[in-house]
Each structure stands twice: as structure tokens, then as C-alpha cells.
Amino acid sequence: MSKQGKFLSVFRFFTIFLAIALILLPLWVYQNFGVTVLFDNVYFHILIGADALIGVDHQIIQSLINELILLPLGIALIFEFTLLILKASETKKRKYQNLYNYIALLEKKSILFGIVLIAAIDSGCSLGATQYFYQQAASKDYFSAYYTKPGSVLKHSVKKKNLIILYIESLEQNLTNKEIFGTNLIEPIDKLPGITVKKFVAAPGTDWTIAGVVSSQCAIPLKASLFIRKFDLINFFLPKAICIGDILASQGYDQSLFIGSDLKFCRVGKFYQNHGYQHLYGKREFASSGISPSLFKGWAKGLNDDTLLDEAFNHIIKAAKSTKPFNVVIMTTDSHPPRGTPSPRCRQSERNNGIIGAYQCTSRFVAAFIKKLQNSGILDNTTLILMGDHPLKATPEYLKYFPNPRYVYFKIFDPDFKKRPTRNIMTHFDVAPTILDLLNIQLSTHQRYGLGVSIFADSSQVDYQKLFDAVTKQSVLNPSKTYDSFWYPK
């Protein structure tokens, strides 16, 4: 075979491989991350490169290798092998002339380029690329129109309250629906007394883990702007955004993060590090602290939720003895889709029931954790926020259990706080100003913060419905100079 023939053969093999991989990509995404995944989510992970796979569960990596590498390679090899056999045998070529003619078309570079282009367009459209790029061309900056830059701290009570934010992976209101599941899957935490907001809507740019964290702590969506350079994303994470951690750091809070998986997952650790958190504990930090390797059985071979909560509780007990106020964020992972990773300490029935069992088990662990905090007296001067990071990214097999409308689960524990919510609807953007209200921290912008408003705000002072309608539309992710400025390094 001539050099040109060998080059064409290799080129054809890899273009067929690429085309098949692109066609299978949306199916793989839906099976592992849910059918509601949009292109901006995928693009964000492309931007962070190899770090998108650091800390990911091994089953997801294995499925990626099997379905997006080995399967396309196998199909491409079958094409090449079939063409080789037909070329080598004139008898077979004549017998399967039509098949040969079709396969022979793949020897034309223009045809190969066309196949890859069609596959890329089909894959992109399935994941919402058309809407994304159309949006990037939009001219009206809705974000800047509704964004309120957090003002300076005007007032903070002398006795500063502590804060605990407990993000439960994929916790949503549908889990309490007995008509769907035959039981309230999260009854242990649902029956605890507290302030619950029933209609917590996941606005655009808030519906995956790191986006749910950013939007609830900074009152802005997380979006993958086209202009962001990889360098900026590696070294910084929204460095000029003003988030809860930044404000509490200015008020002398000692701030910590506890997560069972790797801190590098989706740059979670980088975000907290950039926004005032001094102590970050993830899988590697726990391993180096002497925790038994036998306890790393959770999602992505990290700590299960029960062990994570025990570690956080011990830290909180020590922090409460300090004269400094503290803020502790805990992020669970056992109920991470697609299958969940129930702890070995869960009941057998829960361990056998995948993500449904993980919800039931984690709910018991979380309720026990909160009761321990109550019994220890910690919550006498501490606000505890319990919330889902986002609704479950339901895969096709689970989608029927999570009908619309879907709401994030949100609950406040604060025996000292006397106000009650003035509305029963909110978004992630409202969490930050609500927390400031609960901590008795008053800003010069009062109860407005970013794209949010405290749920305790006087309804006569803020036209919340107008704001809600604006921030829950996809147009809030239109290009914005104000938003882009958050990414410029300090």
C-alpha cells in the first residue's frame, strides 16, 4: 500500500471513530448525568480540561472508556476490516457490490469530513449547543440590569452567630411525595422542625453541583463564558465575585469545607479557596489525616456521608470552643447520580436500592447529625441551612419518578430567629441574602444581593415577582460585561 493509501486508511479510521463517538456522546451524557444536561454544563467541563475527570466516580470513567472510546474503536475497526476483506476478494466484492459501493464512499475525504461535521452538529444540537451559541450572540444584557452589587457591611450584631451550610447531593421536594414512592424517602429530615420553603426553583446556571454552590453563595449563575481562558480558570474561580465567604471572612469568621470526594472535582476546592475559606477537607486530606482506608467506599472512592458528617461534627465541636465565629460547609455525595453510593453502614434494603436507598439512608444520617448538634447546644447560636445543591439529574430510568414542577429542598434551622418568610418561592440567588438576614448582618444594599432577595424581605419594598420572572429565564445567561468582570484576576 502506498504512503497516500496508508494515510487515507488511518485518516478514515479516526474520522469514523470520531463520528461514532460524537453520535454516542449525548446518549452517554443522558445515561450518566441526566436528560436535563445542557451545553453550558458540558462546555464548562471542557474548559477545565482533565480536571473534569479528577475526583469523578470510577464507574463513570469506566463507562466513558467503554462507550465513548472502546465501542467507537470497535465499530471503526469493523468498517476497516470489512473494506479490507471486500477489496481482497473480487468474488466477495461482486457478491456484495452494493455494500462495497457504500463503504468505498468512505475513501473520499470530503465524505469523511461531512460525516464528522454532521455527527458534531447532531451531537451539539442534542445537548443544546444551538441555543447556547444563539444566546452568546444576544445583545441585551439582562444580568447587569438585575444584578445588585453587595454593599458594605453596615451592621453586625455584637454576638456573632455561627453558620452551617449542609448541601445534600440532588435533594429535591419530589422525594417527599408518598404517591410516587409509596413513602417519604427523606422523612427523617423532613419531619424535623424548621422553616421550609416549598417552591425553590433551579434557575438557569444553577442546576449542577458547582453551579448550585456558586449561585447560592454568590447570588449569580455559573456560566461558561466563551472568553474565559483556561489559564484564568486554572488559577482563579470568579475572583472578583463577592460571595458569602468573602463577607464572613471580613467579619472574622473561621471557615471550613468538608466534602467526601476530591477537592479538585469541578474545581470545588478552588472556588472555596478563592472566597475566604481557610480549611478545606476532601478525600486526600482525610486520607492523609489517618482515616482508615476501609472507610473510603463512597462516591469516587471518597468518604461516605456518615463518616463525613462525623468528621464535620468533631470539627464543629472544637470550633464552638473558640472565640471566633465559624462557618462550616458540608457537601454530601452518597446520593450522586446515576446510581448512588449508599454507605456500608446503611440498612441492607437501602444498599440494595441504589440511589433511592442512598436518599433514605443519608436522610437518617443527616437527621441524626442535626439532632446531635441540637443536643450539644451548638444550634443555640448557629444558623443551619439544609438544602439540595440542585434537583436530581435524573437519568431516563428515573425520570418518571421526578415529574414537573421540580423544586430544590430547602430548610432553615434557627431557634433564635424570630422572623418568618414573606413568600414561599425562591431561587439559589436568594440563599445568600437570606443567610445574611439570619446572621443579623446588614449590608448597605439591605436585603438585595446579586440576583437575589432575602426570603424575609418586606414584599412592599421589592417587586420580587418581576425579579423572579427575569432570573428564571434563559436570557439571564446572555453575554454580560458585568458578569465577565468577575473572572478577571485580582
The length of the chain in residues reads 490
Q: Do 386 and 304 sit in the same domain of this protein?
A: yes
Given 103, 136, 169, the domain boundary residue is 136
Contacts of 177 (CB under 8 A, 6+ apart): 184
Percentages (nearest 5) of helix, strand, coil residues in the chain: 50, 10, 35
Residue position matching grid coordinates 424548621 = 194
The two counts, helices (H) then strands (E), for the chain are 22, 13
Pair (128, 150) in one structural domain:
no
- Is the residue at 490 inside a domain? no
Judge if 343 and 208 occupy the same domain: yes
The radius of gyration of the chain's CA atoms, rounded to the nearest angstrom, is 25
CA–CA gap between residue 447 and residue 432 (Å, rounded): 10
pTM for this prediction: 0.89
Grid coordinates representing 247? 463577607
Query: Domain limits at 77?
Result: 3-136
CATH code for the domain in which residue 236 is found? 3.40.720.10
CA distance 262 to 274: 17
Q: Is residue 109 part of a domain?
A: yes
CA atoms within 13 A of residue 428's CA, in its CB half-sphere: 29
Residues 382 and 353 in one domain: yes
Cell numbers for 329, please give them: 460547609
Does residue 464 form part of some domain? yes
Distance separating alpha carbons of residues 484 and 452, to the nearest angstrom: 19
247 and 206 within one domain: yes
Residue 386: how many CA atoms within 13 Å on its side-chain side? 23
Contact (Cβ atoms closer than 8 angstroms) between residue 167 and residue 336 = no
Compute the C-alpha angle 113/115/120, nearest 5°: 95
Q: Mind listing the pLDDT tens digit of every residue in the chain (490 residues)?
A: 556 556 667 887 888 899 889 988 888 888 777 777 777 777 777 776 666 666 677 777 888 888 899 999 998 888 777 777 766 665 555 555 665 566 666 666 677 777 788 888 888 787 777 777 777 777 789 999 999 999 888 878 778 999 999 999 999 999 999 999 999 999 999 999 999 999 999 999 999 999 999 999 999 999 876 545 544 555 788 999 999 999 999 999 999 999 999 998 888 999 999 999 999 999 999 999 999 999 999 998 999 999 999 999 999 999 999 999 999 999 999 999 888 999 999 999 999 999 999 999 999 999 999 999 999 999 999 999 999 999 998 878 788 889 999 999 999 999 888 889 999 999 999 999 999 999 999 888 777 899 999 999 987 667 899 999 999 999 999 989 999 889 876 5
Residue 132: the pLDDT is: 75
* 184 and 92 in a common domain: no
Question: Looking at residue 231, what is its pLDDT?
Answer: 45
From 78, 106, 136, give the residue that closes a domain. Answer: 136
Angle between helices 71-88 and 3-33 (to 10 degrees): 150
Answer for the pair 338, 31: CB distance below 8 angstroms, yes or no. yes
Helix (H) or strand (E) holding 87: helix 71-88
Q: Are residues 158 and 92 in the same domain?
A: no
**Chain centre to alpha carbon of residue 338:** 13
Please indicate, yes or no, whether residues 218 and 259 belong to a single structural domain of this protein: yes
Amino acid of residue 87: K
pLDDT of residue 102: 60
- What does the angle CA 422 – CA 423 – CA 425 come to, to the nearest 5 degrees? 155
Q: Which residues pair with 156 in a beta bridge?
A: 441
Q: How many other CB atoms are there within 10 angstroms of residue 58's CB atom?
A: 10
Residues 237 and 156 placed together within one structural domain of the fold: yes
Quick check: bond before 396 cis, omega within 30? no
> Does residue 161 share a domain with residue 31?
no
* Cα gap 10→147, rounded to integer Å: 52
Does residue 346 contact residue 368 with C-beta atoms inside 8 Å? no
**Which among 136, 162, 181 is the end of a domain?**
136
Cβ burial of 65 (10 Å; 0-12, 13-18, 19+) is exposed
Q: Count Cβ atoms within 10 A of the Cβ of residue 471 and give its class: 0-12 exposed, 13-18 middle, 19 or more buried.
A: buried
In a shared domain, residues 325 and 304: yes
φ, ψ of residue 220 to 5 degrees: the values are: -140, 155
Q: How many domains does the chain have?
A: 2
Query: Cβ(447)–Cβ(457) under 8 Å?
Result: yes
Rounded to an integer, what distance in angstroms lies between the CA atom of residue 488 and that of residue 490?
6
Question: Which candidate, 18, 213, 241, 50, places its Cα nearest to that of 143?
Answer: 241
Q: Are residues 374 and 250 located together in one domain of the fold?
A: yes
